[in-house]
């Protein structure tokens, strides 16, 4: 495999979703996302209507740069993440930004991720309008 170097200033994709933004770079069989979610963002309020699923179906693995987020799993389990935390959140959750600071994160996943691709498709259509 040859080395791959990309830059978030020139991402492969830049979908736009309500109260959030993302820059994606594809590195072979992995995708890395630099994401930002604004204060007041909540998956169930802002993105569920677009995604059409009862809860988020993306497995999130990442690192928090700034801000705080709260995750609530479908089974009621909760977890809070903040700056410096490395996390793995399985599919089947709601999430929201806690406090007045935007939540900024790096999140990575396999390149072939159906739930993530659906979110990108919705965000691409949203950015076009």
Tell me the C-alpha distance between 78 and 95, whole Å. 9
Structure confidence by residue, pLDDT tens digits, 55-88: 999 899 999 999 999 999 999 999 999 999 999 9
Delineate the domains of the chain, giving CATH numbers in brackets: 16-128 (2.60.120.10)
Tell me the C-alpha distance between 85 and 75, whole Å. 22
pLDDT of amino acid 87: 97
pLDDT of amino acid 81: 98
Tell me the C-alpha distance between 63 and 41, whole Å. 19
pLDDT of amino acid 95: 97
Six token digits for residue 111:
């390149």
R_g of the chain, CA atoms, integer Å: 14
97 SS3 class: strand
Query: Averaged over 111-122, what is the pLDDT?
Result: 62
Six token digits for residue 15:
């979908």
Higher per-residue confidence, 109 vs 108:
108
CB-CB contact of 95 with 47 (8 Å): no
Structure confidence by residue, pLDDT tens digits, 12-47: 999 888 999 999 999 988 899 999 999 999 999 998
pLDDT of amino acid 117: 63
pLDDT of amino acid 50: 84
CB-CB contact of 73 with 92 (8 Å): yes
């Amino acid at each position: 495999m040859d080395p791959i170097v990309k830059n978030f200033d020139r991402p492969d994709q830049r979908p736009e979703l309500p109260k959030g933004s993302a820059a994606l770079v594809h590195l072979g069989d992995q995708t890395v996302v630099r994401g930002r979610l604004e204060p007041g963002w909540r998956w169930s309020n802002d993105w569920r209507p677009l995604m059409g699923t009862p809860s988020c179906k993306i497995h999130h693995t990442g690192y928090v740069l700034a801000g705080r987020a709260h995750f609530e799993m479908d089974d009621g389990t909760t977890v809070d993440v903040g700056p410096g935390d490395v996390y793995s959140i399985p599919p089947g959750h709601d999430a929201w930004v806690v406090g007045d600071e935007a939540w900024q994160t790096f999140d990575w996943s396999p390149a072939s991720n159906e739930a993530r691709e659906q979110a990108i498709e919705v965000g691409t259509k949203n950015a076009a309008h």
